[in-house]
Chain A
Amino acid sequence: MSLDPSGARQAQAKLVTGFLDDPDVRLIDLGSDPGTGRPVLRVHVRNAAAESRLRLPPEIDGIPVRVIVADYGLER
């Protein structure tokens, strides 16, 4: 499945500018809603507490924002 490249990436860029500097935010990517297949913006945060603290918008430019709790590390 391909995403609408321009719209989703512009919305993602807004999230990156606003939130990637936060120490609890690990990754911001583009995914799709498993039910509808529509594009979603995904913000991966280190812990559940960050989700409420960050006050992420529910959507940007009409694209829903989803939060995933996961902490990533290098795999050497």
Chain B
Amino acid sequence: MRIDRMTLAHARRALREARHHLYDPNVTLIDFGHGQVGGQCVEDKLAIRFHVRRKLTPLALEAAVEARRTADVPGSIGGFTTDVIQGTFHPHRGWWTTWSRPRAETRADRRDPMKGGISISDERHNAYGTLGGLVADRATGARMILSNWHVLAAEWNARVGQRIYQPGRLDGGTSADTVASLARDAMGADLDAAVATLNGSRRLVAEQVDLGAVRGVGRAELGMELAKSGRRTGVTFGVVRGVEGVANLTYGFVGRVIRKVVTIEPRSAVEEVSAGGDSGSWWLDRATMRAVGLHFAGSDSPETGLALDMQEVLDQLQVDVVVGG
């Protein structure tokens, strides 16, 4: 059965709506596929499928929901019916993996050396954003992390020296994971950007996870194809559809004007550009691997990402991108 692109796009939105159920320890996977009737796959029925460790009887489910041990799955999400399927998933390990091979590092892990595209947060918020990449102070040459103000500072009263954790607190980071301290930000210039000075406990290399070395800085132009590496959605692609934007966004309860915004849309209807947790990631020109944007916001419907003009950010913060080898 072929699934057309529009259906897939709707399914992707529905899956996004459903993914908070992954916090339920009984849910192992949520996907889109053929529904089931009486335990048998039905090819002409498409459903959002919740794979659970144990399928509960109606009475047990009611008790578990009441005790907040699990959450009830709605009958439909985004126009698709839902199915609850019992099944536990295990990694498909080869024989050699059982005794020596470590598991692959994820973007949520503590990384050494660090690269752009991994989890990071300030010390005060139970959150994560993305470690954008490596920059150097124009005056002192000090090595710094460039990310968003709302990732590294995140409060109007944030103080210089505030500790930065890798991974971010929501990924388990603690004070033992401190890698940098907040140095300065560019909110005064209407740019959601900040830098934190590395403390030397771990090395940060001028590369992006799964994308490779950063080759310099460029300007976003309409139609330019970009790629980014972010904590939440990994490597995604997009096309520049707007430049020189001036935005009015809400920070907490405060509206702020943000300027020099680049608007990035997916290459096709079924692709995702970004999601919560990708803030701070760098958009690179795919052709040259030069950094052209600092991701900071987005919309799910329509799927769109917003970034800040990278050269403007660097000039305001008085830093330069460190070029990878």
Contact = CB atoms under 8 A, between A and B. Distances in A.
Interface of A: 1-3, 8-9, 12, 16, 20-21, 23, 25-32, 42, 44, 68, 70-76
A3 B243 contact: yes
A41 B274 CA distance: 24
* Interface footprint category on B: 35 or more
B299 interface: yes
B311 interface: no
Contacts of B151: 76
29 contacts: A2-B221, A3-B222, A20-B246, A20-B248, A21-B248, A26-B248, A27-B246, A27-B247, A27-B261, A28-B246, A30-B243, A31-B242, A31-B263, A32-B223, A70-B299, A70-B301, A70-B302, A70-B304, A72-B304, A73-B250, A75-B232, A75-B274, A75-B276, A75-B277, A75-B278, A75-B295, A76-B127, A76-B151, A76-B154
Contacts of A1: 221-223
B150 A12 contact: no
B298 A29 contact: no
A76 B245 contact: no
Nearest to B149: A74
Contacts of B275: 75
Given A25-B248, A29-B244, 4 more contacts: A21-B248, A73-B298, A75-B279, A76-B154
A76 B128 contact: yes
A21 B274 CA distance: 27
Nearest to B219: A2
B205 to A, nearest CB: 24
Contacts of A21: 248
Contacts of B299: 70-73
A20 B150 contact: no
Interface string B271-313: 0001111111000000000000001111101101110000000
B222 A29 contact: no
Contacts of B261: 27, 29
B75 to A, nearest CB: 27
Interface string B104-138: 00000000000000000000000111000000000
Given A3-B243, A29-B263, A30-B244, A76 B249 contact: no
- Identify the interface centre among B243, B255, B277: most chain A CB within 10 Å of its CB: B243
A73 B297 contact: yes
A73 B304 CA distance: 11
Nearest to B151: A76
A26 B128 CA distance: 24
Contacts of B243: 3, 29-31
Contact of B277 (A32, A71, A76): A76
A63 B297 CA distance: 27
A28 B297 contact: no
B257 interface: yes
Nearest to A75: B279
B267 interface: no
B249 A72 contact: yes
Contact of B297 (A16, A20, A74): A74
A26 B247 contact: yes
Contacts of B148: 74, 76
Contacts of A44: 263
Interface in B228-269: 232, 241-251, 255, 257, 261, 263
A59 to B, nearest CB: 17
B222 A72 contact: no
